[in-house]
Amino acid sequence: MAKELTDAGLSVLVLERGPARDTSPDFEFPRIADELKYAVRGDLWQPLAGETVTVRHRPGDTAVPYRQYGSFILGNGTGGAGAHWNGQQWRASPNDLRIRSVYEERYGKKFIPSDMTIQDYGISFEELEPWFDHFEKVTGVAGTAGNVRGRLQDGGNPYEGARSNPYPQQPLPPILSSQLFANAARELGYKPFPVPAANSTAAYTNPYGVRMGPCNLCGYCEGFGCFLYSKAAPQTTIIPILKGRRNLEVRHNAYVTRILLDSSGKLATGVRYIDANGKQVDQPAAMVVLASFQLNNVRMLLLSGIGKPYDPLTGKGVVGRNYAYQMVSSTTAYFDESVQMNPFIGAGAAGQQAVDEHNADHFDHGKLGFVGGAMIFAGATGGRPIVQMPLPPDAPRWGSGWKSAVRKHYAHSSSVATMGSVMSYRDRYLDLDPTYRDAHGLPLLRMTFDWHPNEYKMTAYTSARAAEIVRAMKPQRMAQHVLKPGDSYDVRVYQSTHNTGGAIIGTNPSNSVLNRYSQCWDVPNVFVFGASSFPQNIGYNPTGLVAALTYFAAAKIRSTYLKTGGLLVQA
């Protein structure tokens, strides 16, 4: 958005809540390849001592603070989580964007549970396709197209929506774990394809003139900045061309506390923030773009009094509504010592393989009794010895037995994962906590969330398909971690940083915070970008859809809003 709005000639001030960070010097090798500092202690993450969220399973419970990172990770500083993400970059499936309509048309209205609050985006895949395409070029995505202008292509994802162009780069060759997965999947009749990776295959120059370097599969992606300019972080793809722009200013360590409104409450006049010296500053603005992480976006709207807070008892209100997450499972294959995986060779997404037959509505749900699905994929992001040490469930947790198990399995195991969608429900939402406050005395965001029967059914089905593929890989043994009914949401275990909803896109002010151009219905000079706009979660990583929605809105802002002002869609 900073690029799009400065391109349009506006004077733009960026308020970054964290410190300044760039590839050099912050991500230089070898200092960045420090697993303890970054993957365990989270040097690039938001410090939870100053601000966190509180979590409870259901309305009426007492929420408690998320004090130690587990389930999801909050970015901090320039680039946010985009600096230390893995790089899987998916487009949404066309039927993800009109999910309620698809299921009602195919299975009938009674197929959707009465407490499930899923809804269509009000935006079609075809409208977003040019922006998916543009973002893939900006980030140099490596992959194999499955559907170019309606014609299916060998080796790609046959279930993807029609694309206008192939991926800008060819994928890296699959690593051994991915090869074994792909071979087994083909034997079972699936059509495996390379995971679309924002990890550059070769030297690449994007449409902005920014150069990226080839990924060397160093194994330090998630939790780490990329020292080779290979992973598509903001530092690698966009920020270099923004430096020196006279109509752009960036202030770091600026902690925004609220969006300021005029006496009518219908117009934003600026924002209030606490600067690096602890001084409170009121910054005037004609237009406010809220582009923080999903949870922080929702909290800022609630703190600012923009939009009616959601009430789960009445189902009325919109801010905080439709919070969702993802349900993942893993199936680990343990091979004999003649199968050398070389686990240190890995990347966030490069070299991975996936199948998409059981995602979205790519398969018949009629007799299965659930909504949604999962992408199934295999590969390795690295072999870091602290947090990437897969051991069988019966292996000792310490001592000589643990050491023996590590020696036996570290270089000879491989995991297959499912990335499952999660639907939205009436009793799963975000609001302000009545008890806990941040370091500045402001209420923390409270998360009310647990799994529903629909998701247990979904993960049981898709995980069984993953297990079939793993068995066809012919390991000596295998182990599976799948959530079952009775397993509550556990913040201690990492699952994904794919939190969604709370400030969702919709077709009218009664069912959404934002219109189709990510513009607040109630305060039209406020625009909100991020996965907070998703009405429910998908079975893919969210970054590609977040970016497409942002570029889609930016084009409308430039073509219409800057000339006319006001709502871009009439309620």
User: Model confidence over 544-568: pLDDT tens digits?
Assistant: 999 999 999 999 999 999 999 999 9
C-alpha 77/C-alpha 26 separation (Å) is 11
**Residue 477 confidence (pLDDT) above 90:** yes
Alpha helix stretches (DSSP H) within 22-107 = 23-26, 35, 99-107
Under 8 Å between Cβ of 199 and 144: no
| Res 382: pLDDT | 93
**Which amino acid is residue 228, in one-letter code?**
L
Mean residue pLDDT of the chain comes to 97
1-41: pLDDT as tens digits: 999 999 999 999 999 999 999 999 999 999 999 999 999 99
Q: Residue 397 — pLDDT band, cuts 50, 70, 90?
A: very high
| Res 570: pLDDT | 78
Q: Where are the beta strands (DSSP E) in 67-173?
A: 147-148, 151-152
**Residue 363 confidence (pLDDT) above 90:** yes
112-150: pLDDT as tens digits: 999 999 999 999 999 999 999 999 999 999 999 999 999
**Which amino acid is residue 52, in one-letter code?**
T
Alpha helix stretches (DSSP H) within 368-443 = 399-409
C-alpha 469/C-alpha 536 separation (Å) is 28
414-442: pLDDT as tens digits: 999 999 999 999 999 999 999 999 999 99
Count CA atoms closer than 13 A to 350's CA, side-chain side: 29
Quote the tokens at residue 555: 């084009």
Is 452 an active-site residue? no
Quote the tokens at residue 85: 């993400």
What share of the chain has pLDDT > 70, as a percent?
100
List Cα–Cα distances, 459 to 44, 96, 157, 487, in angstroms: 31, 18, 21, 12
3-state secondary structure of 376: strand
294-342: pLDDT as tens digits: 999 999 999 999 999 999 999 999 999 999 999 999 999 999 999 999 9
Q: Residue 377 — pLDDT band, cuts 50, 70, 90?
A: very high
Q: Are strands 53-56 and 64-65 parallel, antiparallel or unpaired?
A: antiparallel
**Residue 465 confidence (pLDDT) above 80:** yes
332-362: pLDDT as tens digits: 999 999 999 999 999 999 899 999 999 999 9
**Number of C-beta neighbours around residue 173 at 10 A:** 11
| Res 194: pLDDT | 98
Q: pTM of this prediction?
A: 0.97
| Res 390: pLDDT | 87
Averaged pLDDT for residues 238-250 = 96
Averaged pLDDT for residues 477-482 = 97
Out of 358, 412, 452, 498, pick the active-site residue. Answer: 498
